[in-house]
Chain A
Amino acid sequence: EVQLVESGGNLVQPGGSLRLSCAASGFTFSSYGMNWVRQAPGKGLEWVSYITTSSSTIYYADSVKGRFTISRDNAKNSLYLQMNSLRDEDTAVYYCARDSGRYYAADYWGQGTLVTVSS
């Protein structure tokens, strides 16, 4: 069974940093691109970042470019999101999601981890 489990969400002050993790199981992690997607309270989905299987290609949303860094460790079946210079507007549930390999659609999602940026 495919499972994605996020962790690392917390309350952090503006300007602070946080590192999110996503532990993958039930599939060959190294064979799939991965995404981070977030959802602010009461709002819609916002794609954050994407990383290819070998980390050779990475994309970021303009809203996080230069502040967030996506990475992966295929040996540990894990995906990460390093978030620096956090702002109030980064408050959201952060989901990791697997790229199905078909039109880059995300076929499996974690349950999400809440990041709250507030003083």
Chain B
Amino acid sequence: DIQMTQSPSSLSASVGDRVTITCRASQSIRNYLNWYQQKPGKAPKLLIYGASNLQSGVPSRFSGSGSGTDFTLIISSLQPEDFATYYCQQSYESFTFGPGTKVDIK
């Protein structure tokens, strides 16, 4: 089974900060890596699919990169509505979510 890790598990940031979240797979997943945002009490929202493709309607301050085993989600300028938990998910072999990264207000 493919295991996913994320770092950091949480971070505190200010509005306007550049935020970087890393996701690592236990084996190569090519670019079958998706990113989701979840706010408390709400369903997850798809941000990025295929490692680097921005989902329709998602602001361009979100970007994704990587392939193989190492992936990155970047929020170029954090906005108030971006405080949430972010999950990566591999879809190369079955499906596995990472443990999540909580982004809160500094």
Contact = CB atoms under 8 A, between A and B. Distances in A.
Contact of B95 (A47, A102, A110): A47
The bracket for how many chain B residues form the interface is 20 to 34
A45 B50 contact: no
Contacts of B36: 45, 106
B63 interface: no
B95 A109 contact: no
A9 B96 CA distance: 23
Given A103-B32, A103-B91, A105-B34, A44 B97 contact: yes
A102 B48 CA distance: 10
Contacts of A45: 36, 38, 44, 87, 89, 97, 100
B24 to A, nearest CB: 16
Contacts of A95: 43-44
B62 interface: no
Interface residues of A, number: 23
Contacts of B94: 47, 50, 59, 61
A110 B49 contact: no
Among A45, A102, A109, max chain B CB count under 10 A is at: A45
Interface string A83-111: 00000000000010100101111110111
Interface string A22-43: 0000000000000101000000
Contacts of B53: 102-103
A59 B95 contact: yes
A62 interface: yes
A102 B49 contact: yes
Interface string B90-104: 010011111110000
Interface of B: 1, 31-34, 36, 38, 43-46, 49-50, 53, 55, 85, 87, 89, 91, 94-100
Interface of A: 35, 37, 44-47, 50, 59, 61-62, 95, 97, 100, 102-107, 109-112
